[in-house]
Chains A and B, each alone.
Chain A
Amino acid sequence: MTANLTKAEFDVYRYDPTKDAKPRYQRYTLELAPHTPVLSALLQIRAEVDPSLSLRYSCRHAICGSCAMQINSKSRLACQTQIGPEMAKHGRIVIEPMRNQPVIRDLVVDQSPFWRQYDRIEPHLKLDPAHPMPVGQPTSMSPEEVERFKETPRCIACGACYSACPAVESDPEFPGPMALAKLYRFVVDPRDHAHQDRLLRIQPGGLWLCLRCHLCTESCPKDVRPSERIRDLKELAITAQGATEHGSRHAVGFKDNLPDAGVLNEMKLVRQTYGLVGTLGQLGQGIRIYRKKPEILRKPHPIQGVEEVRKIYRALDREEGKE
């Protein structure tokens, strides 16, 4: 039964901030079947080679969400990632702790930034005090209402998306994909009474910092597709509350810019987003760019058939009547 074993080389991140000046990578070489999960390999290392290796895990079945880590630079559950394809692609398997959170030891991180952002969205139902849920009786939801949750109830809060997110990496104010996917889940819940308040409160320093890079959707072990739900939240926020932030003003400004010529008028968009005073603040950078690329000031020629674009707007744009 030892046929088909493959040599697997692991370079595992080791760091004890209380003792080590800096992190190091330790090489472990094992003979394993290609379908072996990375988690099993790490547990074998701990059991047979090096009992000092620290990691978090529990269920081994992609249910508990404890063993998220960076595997060859991708955010993954160790229990759900097989060694064969990783060895085939990279010739070795680099194991690192999740990103965007401080390391406690080796592969164990302090997840409090992640949970703080989860708390921020107040992840519990807020009921209408005038219509409390009947005690002792089930409440029912129609299939259509359940459908609106999309994939969000599948989230196991493993943090893989938080670790993958470049917005979190560069701005700790950003709530991160998991918190926003959870927020979406409450914003479409028919039992929740605080939809508008939730949308209002998540916009400053929150929703509009998403970069739409889709790395969260790529790394999610449960296909929750947070980036797509963040898009939905943006449209819900704009629909209900209009353009209240730089982000929503830019999205709405871009939309309203297009019927002019069918292509973008870059200068007009800057004014739409920043207003006149804000635009003056962009002047220095604008002049730098203008020297090399004078087209930035040019008003674009309308495309052929721009009238068709305007008619599509009349059919589908909610705000068309306001212009």
Chain B
Amino acid sequence: MLMGSSVSGRSVPPSVPGVDRNLDTSGHAAAIDVQGMNFYYGEQQVLFDISLKVPERSVTALIGPSGCGKSTFLRTLNRMNDLVDGARCTGLCLVEGQNIMDPAVDVVLLRKHVGMVFQKSTPFPKSIFDNVAYGPRVAGEKNRAVLAELVESCLKKAALWDEVRDRLHTSAMALSGGQQQRLCIARTLATNPKIILMDEPASALDPASTDRIENLIGELCSNYTIVIVTHNMQQASRVSHQTAFFFRGRLVECGPTMKIFTSPAEKQTEDYITGRFG
């Protein structure tokens, strides 16, 4: 693991524990394999011919200026764009070898496998326990003991258990912003996904809470495949194995994080990460 390394005069912040930014992922099995994806909102095309492999049990960061299509791309991975009228997608998107763009795909099953954490923490106006137990419950789990065990293990994985163990049955709305976001992560883990999509999970949080979320991502990536959209380039460089740079609906470059941040192949990438535009 390279700590605070400086290549070609550019310094890259140290990574969080558990993330190897020089990891050669070419030999890894792909959890997500997107091939030639085009995406349209009505007549307007927002994604152009995206091809991207996300290796298993790793963190892939999607970076790029606002409106570059990275969030739209993220939402196609669990078909959340279905909710938007007039959204249309072509190309292949293989998750576990199955094309999830297939109309025969049950989005409910897909979304259990591919969980999502949003930018704005959205706890349900229920107790902490009920928030975490929501996913299993809608999936049909009724056994109180099973649910209690699951809630505990998920809150532990999300590094929230110690703070809320004494008030599991109080309202989740009373938690702080950072705690709410970790609760949302715990809630997502409770559906037992293999892949977790994160849409700027820390952009509304203070630095200390952001730090906790980033460390959490480092811990989770040994068991889960994580795709994270972030505006914060330092964050991308800290938490991800692989970074993909999006610009104007196209995937400009994708590679090991260390390489993207020290010696990108494309001029546009270099300009963006050095802050020349964006």
Q: Do A and B come from one complex?
A: no
Binding site for A on B (CB under 8 A): none
Binding site for B on A (CB under 8 A): none
